[in-house]
């Protein structure tokens, strides 16, 4: 069985091997002082983004659902773990400070003091109801998966049931993301409004451990999550389930006529994608240090799609390559390390012009390289196309679906 799995997914050993080698190399270089902590963090976060892109590819590249709501799941995962990180860390601080007092504090006083520390920033001192489980790590870890999945389940059920598809679904998911972001912006939402949850890089009880070490832990954690996520996604898309997903993508009506419960399949893959994205977010934000509603503004969700598109949708390694390439190049260009170019009348300030270049590169990739960077792999592996003698895969004659169907 394993043999056939690997046969159907030749990319799995390659990707996992490269991931392991890369992480080992980075860890070794960081240990020898060759890499700065901030770069290790950037790499760790990039791996989380790659995991989110993987989940995006699962719904978009394989099931044809361009979900612009995945970034909301990502941020929600971060919020869930952030609630525990903040509460636990603050409890330690408060316990230390109250220990010095003449009279031992009542549980209520401790809770008030913790609340005051966390919510003082937004002018409040009470724990909102949604923080009920924030003191328990297992509960919040469960919520990391449950909250995004549940949101995806409810939203997906509503949307798929009424057969909202294609572009409409994209716009609807984007509206959902916007609504959630606007809701979280309000202080009344109980998640500290625009400030969000911050100081997440300081792990409770581990204040003595330097960030250089913590960043390596997270690098390994992120690499492990990406590896497992890749295996899971590869397994999902390679079996019968994956075949039906591709069928839905290429012609939903036909699959439905064949008797498959299309809505159920879509709902399952959408929910799975949300759960994976939530986990990615929960690993990402402790490295970023802060999670707030601006993270899920509509533009961010489109970025996620862009990574997949640039990497090459409909192939799992494409998503990984896209996310890693774009976010690393992006952080290179915005670092301010590149000297400005003087081109006579125009002075090319990279920090300014980077976005312009990025924007036009989207256009170029969609126009000229619809397979994305992943298409480069084809050149190398010289994969043969199934011979269809020019026949269409589906009703959309101009679609590139024939090529995508190879994946």
Partner 1 sequence: MKTRISTLAIAAGLGFAAAPAFAQDAACPIKVGVLHSLSGTMAISETTLKDTVLMLVEDQNEKGGLLGCELEAVVVDPASDWPLFAEKARELLTVHEVDVIFGNWTSVSRKSVLPVVEELNGLLFYPVQYEGEESSKNVFYTGAAPNQQAIPATDYMIEELGVEKFALLGTDYVYPRTTNNILEAYLKDQGVADADIFVNYTPFGHSDWSKIVSDVVALGADGKKVGVISTINGDANIGFYKELAAQGVSAEDIPVIAFSVGEEELSGLDTSNLVGHLAAWNYFQSADGEANEAFVAKWKEKMGGERVTNDPMEAHYIGFNMWAQAVEQAGTTDVDAVREAMYGQTFPNLTGSVAEMLPNHHLTKPVLIGEITEDGQFDILTQTDPVPGDAWTDFLPESAMLTSDWKDLGCGMYNTQTETCVQTKSNY
Partner 2 sequence: MMIRTFKTALVVTWLALGAVQAQAGPVQDLLQEQGALIEESSRRTIGPAIEAIVDSGLERVQPVLQAWQDKALWIDAEGRFWRVIEKDGDEILVDVDTGAEAGPADTAAMEQIKPNSGIRALIGTALVQFQLSDPNPARRRAALESITRDPEPELLAPLRASIETEDDADLLARKVRLERLLTARFDEDEAARVAAIEALSTDAAVETRAALNPLLASRMVALPDGETPEGNVARELSPGGDRLSRAAAYGALVDAGLAPPRPSDAEIRAALEANRANGEVGGVAVAALGDPQARARAYDALAAEGLVAPRVEEADVEAALAAHAFFDVYAEPSAAVTDAARAALTSIGIRVGAMKGVDIGLDALSLASIYFLAAIGLAVTFGVMGVINMAHGEFIMMGAYTAYLVQQIIPDRTLSLIAALPAAFVVTFVAGVAMERLVIRHLYKRPLETLLATFGISIALQQLAKIVFGTQARPLTAPDWLGGAWIINDVVGISHIRIAIFVLALMFLGFFLFLMKRTRLGLETRSVTQNPGMAASVGIDPGRVNMLTFGLGSGIAGIAGVAIGLYAKVTSEMGADYIVQSFMTVVVGGVGNIWGTLAGAAMIGGLQKGIEVLNPSNTLAAQTWMIVAVIIFIQFRPRGIIALRGRAAGD
In angstroms, what is the minimal distance from the CB of 67 to partner 1? 22
What minimum distance in Å lies between the beta carbon of 301 and partner 2?
11
Residue 146 or 294 with smaller CB distance to partner 1? 294
CA distance 319 to 222: 16
Query: What is the number of alpha carbons within 13 Å of residue 357 lying toward its C-beta?
Result: 12
CB of 292 to partner 1, least distance (A): 6
Which residues, including other chains, have CB under 8 Å from residue 131's CB and lie 6 or more apart?
83, 87, 190
Tell me phi and psi for residue 320, to 5 degrees.
-65, -45
- For 119: left if phi > 0, alpha if psi spans -120 to 50, otherwise beta; the answer is alpha
Do 277 and 52 contact (CB within 8 A), yes or no? Answer: yes
Residues 38-97 that bind partner 1 (CB under 8 A): 38-39, 41-42, 93, 96-97
x/- mask, partner 2, residues 353-372, rule CB under 8 A, reads: x-xxxxxxxxx--xx--x--
Stretch that binds partner 1, among 60-68, 166-174, 194-202, 381-389 (CB under 8 A): 194-202
Q: Round to whole Å and give the CA distance between 401 and 325.
A: 24
Task: Work out whether strand 290-291 and strand 197-198 pair parallel, antiparallel, or are unpaired.
Answer: antiparallel
When asked if residue 100 is in the footprint of partner 1 (CB under 8 A), the reply is: yes
Binding flag, residue 248, partner 2 (CB under 8 A): no
Residue entry with tokens 């549940």:
150
Supply 120's token pair. Answer: 């003082």
Is 205 or 336 the residue whose CB approaches partner 1 more closely? 336
304 binds partner 2 (CB under 8 A): no
**Restricting to residues 337-366, which ones interact with partner 1 according to CB under 8 A?**
351-352, 355
Write out the residues near partner 2 by the rule CB under 8 A.
Answer: 60, 66, 102-108, 155, 158-159, 161-164, 166-168, 170-172, 174-176, 178-179, 182-183, 185-186, 188, 298-299, 302, 305-306, 309, 352-353, 355-363, 366-367, 370, 396-400
């Amino acid at each position: 069985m394993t043999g056939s799995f690997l046969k159907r997914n030749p990319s799995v050993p390659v990707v996992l091997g490269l991931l392991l080698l890369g992480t080992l190399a980075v860890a070794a270089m960081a240990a020898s002082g060759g890499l700065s902590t901030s770069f290790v963090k950037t790499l760790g976060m990039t791996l989380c983004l790659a995991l989110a892109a993987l989940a995006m590819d699962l719904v978009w590249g394989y099931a044809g659902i361009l979900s612009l709501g995945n970034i909301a799941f990502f941020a929600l995962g971060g919020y869930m773990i952030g609630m525990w990180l903040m509460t636990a860390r603050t409890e330690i601080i408060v316990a230390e400070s109250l220990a010095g007092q003449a009279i031992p504090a009542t549980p209520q006083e401790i809770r008030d003091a913790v609340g005051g520390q966390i919510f003082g920033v937004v002018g409040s001192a009470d724990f909102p109801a949604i923080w009920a489980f924030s003191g328990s790590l297992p509960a919040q870890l469960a919520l990391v998966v449950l909250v995004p999945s549940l949101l995806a389940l409810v939203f997906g059920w509503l949307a798929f049931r009424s057969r909202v598809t294609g572009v409409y679904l994209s716009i609807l998911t984007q509206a959902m993301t916007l609504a959630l972001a606007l809701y979280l912006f309000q202080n009344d939402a109980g998640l500290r409004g625009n400030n969000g949850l911050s100081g997440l890089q300081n792990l409770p009880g581990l204040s003595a451990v330097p960030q250089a070490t913590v960043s390596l832990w997270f690098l390994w954690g992120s690499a492990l999550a990406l590896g497992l996520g890749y295996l899971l996604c590869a397994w999902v898309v390679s079996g019968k389930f994956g075949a039906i997903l591709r069928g839905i993508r290429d012609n939903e009506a036909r699959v439905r006529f064949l008797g498959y419960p299309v809505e159920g399949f879509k709902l399952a893959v959408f929910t799975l994608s949300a759960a994976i994205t939530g986990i990615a977010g929960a690993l990402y934000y402790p490295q970023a240090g802060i999670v707030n509603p601006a993270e899920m503004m509509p533009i961010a969700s489109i970025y996620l799609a862009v990574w997949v598109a640039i990497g090459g949708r409909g192939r799992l390694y494409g998503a990984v390559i896209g996310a890693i390439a774009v976010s690393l190049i992006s952080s290179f260009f915005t670092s301010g390390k590149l000297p400005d170019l003087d081109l006579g009348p125009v002075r090319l300030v990279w920090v300014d012009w980077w976005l312009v270049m990025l924007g036009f590169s989207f256009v170029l990739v969609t126009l000229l390289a619809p397979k994305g960077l992943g298409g480069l792999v084809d050149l190398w592996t010289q994969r043969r196309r199934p011979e269809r003698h020019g026949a269409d895969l589906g009703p959309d004659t101009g679609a590139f679906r024939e090529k995508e169907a190879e994946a």
